[in-house]
Amino acid sequence: MNPPVYAPQALKFTFVHASGPGGQHVNKTSTAVELKVVLSALDIPAELARRLRTQQKNRINKDGELVIQADQYRSQLSNRKDAISRFEQMLAQASIRPKQRIATRPSKAAKTKRMNSKTQRGKTKINRQKPTVD
């Protein structure tokens, strides 16, 4: 994998109390990590930044920071590594360029086949109806 493309000053770590199991330990220590990535400080191509903003729009705050919360583990270090790896996964996902769609039209034979099948289906439904009294 390529080396990270972000500058250390683009990452802001905040440690908060985690919720969930852990007993008294959870009440005494701030193990959960909130990683804020300043997107404007990242040294990435504009196209990659645009795709990242589009894919992660629900995680970006008003200040243009991508917010990632990690509280899966009981240690700060593990949660910090988890947050960084999740950010790297987001970058990797955004780096995948979507396939260019090529507009195509159905052939004349395909249109004829479709219309014939619709006509046949209509005839089948008409044959199922009760006969009219004339």
Number of domains making up the chain: 1
Crossing angle for the helix pair 46-55 and 76-95, nearest 10 degrees?
110
- In the block, tokens 């395909």 appear at 110
CATH number of the domain that 64 lies in?
3.30.160.20
Task: Determine, yes or no, domain membership for 103.
Answer: no
pLDDT in tens, 55-114: 888 888 888 888 888 888 888 888 889 988 998 898 888 888 888 989 999 999 999 999
Q: What is the pTM of this model?
A: 0.66
Domain that holds residue 84: 8-95
Using 50, 70 and 90 to split pLDDT, how confident is the model at 1?
A: very low
Task: Determine, yes or no, domain membership for 102.
Answer: no
Using 50, 70 and 90 to split pLDDT, how confident is the model at 119?
A: very high
Task: Determine, yes or no, domain membership for 90.
Answer: yes
Task: Determine, yes or no, domain membership for 118.
Answer: no
Task: Determine, yes or no, domain membership for 40.
Answer: yes
Q: Distance (Å, rounded) from C-alpha 44 to C-alpha 6? A: 8
